[in-house]
Chain A
Amino acid sequence: MSPTQAVFRREFGSYFATPLAVVFIVIFLMLCGAFTFYLGDFYEAGQADLQIFFRFHPWLYLLLVPAVAMRLWADERKTGTLELLLTQPVTLWQAVLGKFLAAWAFVGVALALTFPMWITVNWLGDPDNGVILASYLGSWLMAGALLAVGSCLSASTRSQVVAFILTVVACLLLLLAGFPLALDPVRAYLPQAAVDAVSGLSFLTHFQAITRGVLDLRDVMYFLLSIGAWLLATVLVIDLKKAD
C-alpha cells in the first residue's frame, strides 16, 4: 500500500469513527431537501429536473465544507500527530493528497446519498439525465475546490475554529468573485482586464455553467487547477510552519 493510500484510508475511516460523518451527512441531506422543496418551490416549478436542487449547493457547501476541512491539518498540529505523520516515510505531497482525497471522497459519499432526488425526478417526469450527471460532477468538483481552500487554511492554524471561519470567508469570496458585491470595489481601482480576471475566478460562474448541462472542459479544468493550486499552497504552508 502506498503512503498516499494509507493516509487516505486512515483519514476516510476517521470521519466515520466520530459522530462527524453522521451529523454531516444527515444535516447535508436535510438541508438539501428543505432548500429544494421549501425555498426552491420544487413542486410549484413543475419541471422534472434538478436545477433547483443544484442551485443551493454552493450555499450548503459554504457552511458544511469548511466543517469537514477544518480538522484536516489543524487537529494534527494541535495533537502533535503532525510530527508523527511527517516522520513516516511519506512525502509532504503524498500526505496532503491522501488527506484531501479522503475529505473529497467523504463529501462525495454525502452527495451520492442525495440519489433519492434523482429517482424522484425520474419518477415524476422525464429529465435529461446527462445534465443531472454533469451537475453532480460539477457540484463535486466545486466541493473539491472549496475543500482544497479549507485544507490550506486548516494547515495555517492549530485552531479548528479559526480554520473554519477563515475557510468560510475565503469560500464566500471565491463563490462571489463574479458578482457585483465582490467586483464593484475592485472595478474602481483596477483595469477592465483585471476585473474580468477576478470574475473569472468565481466558483459560482463555473459551477452554473456546468449545471446548465454544458460540460465544458475549461470549467472542469478550472476546478481541477484550483484544487491543485490550493493543495500546493497547503504543502508550502505546512513546510513553512512546521515548527509552530
Chain B
Amino acid sequence: MIEASALRKRYGRLTAVDGISFKVEPGEVLGLLGPNGAGKSTTMKMIAGFLTPSEGTARVYGHDVQDDSLAARRVLGYMPEGAPGYGEMTTRGFLGFIANMRGLSGDQRRQRLDFVIGRLSLQPVVEQAIDTLSKGFKRRVGLAAAILHNPSALILDEPTDGLDPNQKHEVRGLINELAEQRTLLLSTHMLEEVEAVCTRAIIIAGGRILADTTPAELLTRSRYHNAVSLHAADSIAARAALDGMPGVSGFENDAREGRLYVFPQGKGKLAEPVAERLRQRQVAYSDLRIEHGRLDEVFRRITTEAQA
C-alpha cells in the first residue's frame, strides 16, 4: 500500500507539488498522468525517499518515508526517470551491486539475480557495460534493479518513455504481470499506456490532482463517449438525414478520416436509431460504430481548464 497525504514540495517560491493525497492498494496500478512539469516526478521522488517533502508525508506499507525512511525504502522498488545506471559497470556487476545494497546474500542473492536476468531476458547483455546497451535493454536493466529484492510496492517513473512500440508492449506486459499482489505506481504522459496497464488514473497539473478515477470513467467524460461514427460517401446527405433527429446534439465531420461523428444528447444510445434513420432516408453508409471516447481529449480538457 502506498499512501500520500497532503504532499507538498516548494522550491523557493515555486510550488512543484501542491497538496497531493492518494492511496494505492495492493493489486492496483495507479497511473500518474500529467503534462511535463506537472509534479509527477517530484511526487514520486518524495515517496521514494529521495526528496524531503516541504509539508505532508507519505507511507509505504505503513512505513513513514520521513520517520522510518529505511524501512519504507526496503519494501519499495523504485526506478527513476530514464532508468539511470553506472555506465562503466556490466549488467551483472550492476545488479550484483543492487543486490548487495539490498542486503541479499548466498542462495537468495543468486536466485533473485537469476530470476530477474531471466525474467527480463538480460542474458545476452550480462557481461556488457551499461553504457553500451540499447535504450530498451537499459530500461530493462533498470526494471530488473527495481524488482530485484521482490518489493511489495513498486514506483516506476515513465517506464516506457522513449522506447519503440515493441519494447513498450514488452514493458507493459511485464508491468501487468508485476501488478499482481503488488502495489504499483507509475507515471506517464502517454495516454494509451493508461488504458493498457492502469486500473486507476490520477491526472495532475500544476502540482494538484485534477481527476482521480478509472480509465473507463475518464473515457465517459469524453464528448466522443457514446457518439456514433460512420463512413458515408455523401456526408452532406447523411447529415441532412440526421439533422433534427431526436437525441442528436450535433455533428462533426472528420475530413482526414472521412468519418461523420454524431453526438448524442445526454447519455442516449444512438447506434440503432441512426442506422434506422439512414436506411429510411436511403443514405448509403458503412462502418458504423459506437465511440468509446478519447482520453487525449479528456486529458487536454482537464489540464487546460485548470490553467485557465
- Which chain B positions have C-beta within 8 A of A90? 70, 101
Nearest Cβ on chain B to A146's Cβ, whole angstroms? 24
Q: Taking A1-B105, A89-B70, A242-B51 as contacts, is the C-beta distance between A18 and B100 under 8 angstroms? A: no
> With an 8 A cutoff between CB atoms, is A131 at the interface?
no
Whether the pair A81, B84 counts as a contact (CB closer than 8 A) is yes
- Which chain A positions have C-beta within 8 A of B81? 80
Q: Is the interface of A mostly helix, strand, loop or mixed?
A: helix
Q: Interface size bucket, B side? A: 20 to 34
Nearest Cβ on chain B to A81's Cβ, whole angstroms? 5
> With an 8 A cutoff between CB atoms, is B49 at the interface?
yes
Whether the pair B98, A88 counts as a contact (CB closer than 8 A) is yes
Q: Taking A10-B86, A14-B88 as contacts, is the C-beta distance between A88 and B93 under 8 angstroms? A: no
- Which chain A positions have C-beta within 8 A of B82? 80
> With an 8 A cutoff between CB atoms, is B73 at the interface?
yes
> With an 8 A cutoff between CB atoms, is A9 at the interface?
yes
Q: Bound state CA distance, A184 and B25, in angstroms?
A: 67
Whether the pair B100, A5 counts as a contact (CB closer than 8 A) is yes
> With an 8 A cutoff between CB atoms, is B35 at the interface?
no
Q: Taking A17-B89, A80-B80, A84-B85 as contacts, is the C-beta distance between A10 and B103 under 8 angstroms? A: no
Please list the residues of chain B having a beta carbon within 8 angstroms of any beta carbon in chain A.
11, 45, 48-52, 70, 73-74, 76, 78, 80-82, 84-89, 93, 97-98, 100-103, 105, 129, 145
> What 14 new A-B contacts, CB under 8 Å, besides A242-B52, A243-B11?
A5-B100, A14-B89, A17-B88, A17-B129, A18-B88, A80-B84, A81-B86, A83-B80, A86-B50, A87-B78, A87-B80, A88-B98, A88-B102, A91-B70
- 14 A-B pairs whose Cβ atoms sit less than 8 Å apart in the complex: A1-B105, A3-B100, A14-B88, A14-B89, A17-B89, A81-B85, A84-B85, A87-B73, A87-B78, A87-B80, A88-B73, A88-B98, A242-B51, A243-B51
